[in-house]
Structure 1
Amino acid sequence: MFQLWKLVLLCGLLAGTSASLLDNRGNDVLRNLKSALERGLASFDSTIEVIFQNLKTELESRCSDEVVENQESENLLEQLISRIFQVVNRLTGVRIRNVQVPDITFEATSDNSADVKIPITAGVTVNLPLLGEIVDLDLNVDLQTSVSIETGDETSDSKVVVGECTNDPESISLTVLHRRFGLLNDVVDIGVNLARRVVSSVVQDELCPRFRELLESLDAECVKKLIGKSQPGEMRKLRLIEDKRHIEVTG
């Protein structure tokens, strides 16, 4: 009969071994991810750049009167972020799925400036050595920046200025949905930390630069329309479920 203390010892050894392997693997994963991010994730999947260019065109169309009817509704920002995370999964083994981006919010801080936020939710699964998929997480993260219009003298045009995209790792919310092995809390914590560092790296080196480029691609008149005529402190939501070239804006 297999004694209970031996089972506990075996589980402890497995936990320690898995924690050590995961820690080593995590460092390797982060080094590989950093190298990939320096190259740009679009170099691993050309569809990322195609979706991004379509998204820029879509956002610009909000500032024109041209609307294309009878087009299939889609959320290009969700598509872009999902595709980026698919590449991250191939590179790291950290699977980020069911990405949802309901809207972009513009909160006016003056007549010509606003704080901009993109809320992202998703599910995360981290593969652990020896034990397989053991930790499932809920992810919540907000991309935040500011946009303003600077007006020069009479001979110069207005200019769109985009602020820094904030990336505080502690602002990334990861909630453990369940733990399959109650004795492996240390391993689960290492898995959560790995997921946080992966998401933080992707936010800083891929999503924030994309977000910044997206806003910088707009002209001053377009940004004025997106900020709207609301008073400072009021928020407008830019819905991202659209008919190719039409975006609904709500107060």
Structure 2
Amino acid sequence: MANFALIGGSGLDQLSLLEGKVIEKIDTPYGKEPVEICRGVIDGLNIVFLSRHGTTEKKPPHMINYRANIWALSQFEPKAVIALASVGAVLPEDDIGAIAVPDQIIDYTWGRETSYNTGKEKFINFIDFTYPFDMDLREAIVDASEELDLPIIDGGTYACTQGPRLETAAEVDRIDNDGGHYVGMTLMPESCLARELNLKYAAICQIVNTAAGRGASEKGIVLDDTKEALTKATKESVNLALATFRSLAD
């Protein structure tokens, strides 16, 4: 039976729905610290779960070992990988608590290990990254949302910033001018590493606040105010991911 992988973000560090839960610590070529993978069954589906930030010590976005995480997931040969990520909304019409399925990325990060190419290989693994998310998997997510009668925002550009600090109002203005719709900190280099390993990868984003200088956040962002929206949107996103996996299994 095929495995399906779910990556949890800041709002999801464990998956309580898993039955027959087994925790495996996977050694990788990318650091001394093993990657903790939790696997089990949900509604007859083999689910492999990774907490992106870790389960005990929480790694901030710029310190996550993305290469180790994605390599460890690849060892289970998942049929699809869905990543959850909380974001701020650049556009005023995108409501807090809404769910978005982006189709593009702009990368504003620096200093992160963005490739499995080390310079020691006999060839360079150039990847086509025109469309950073697997288009078929994206379509399956959108179709599943319709089956669930769950409103989503179909498409949009995810702007990946360095973190862990939030952005300035001027930076958000720049992102807006660049064509960004959602601001987050983790989908790069996660998505391009998945592409290098030929994993079908797409993201479901939970809008938990308006971006800096926009709307309700004009005077600043109060992080405690995001918790309720994150909890609700994360639960809906997990249900959407599982519905997508079920459709792919069928």
TM-score category of the 2 structures, normalised to the smaller one: under 0.3
TM-score by length of 2: 0.26
Relative to its length, the structure with more helix (as a share) is 1
Asked which structure has the greater CA Rg, the reply is: 1
TM-score by length of 1: 0.26
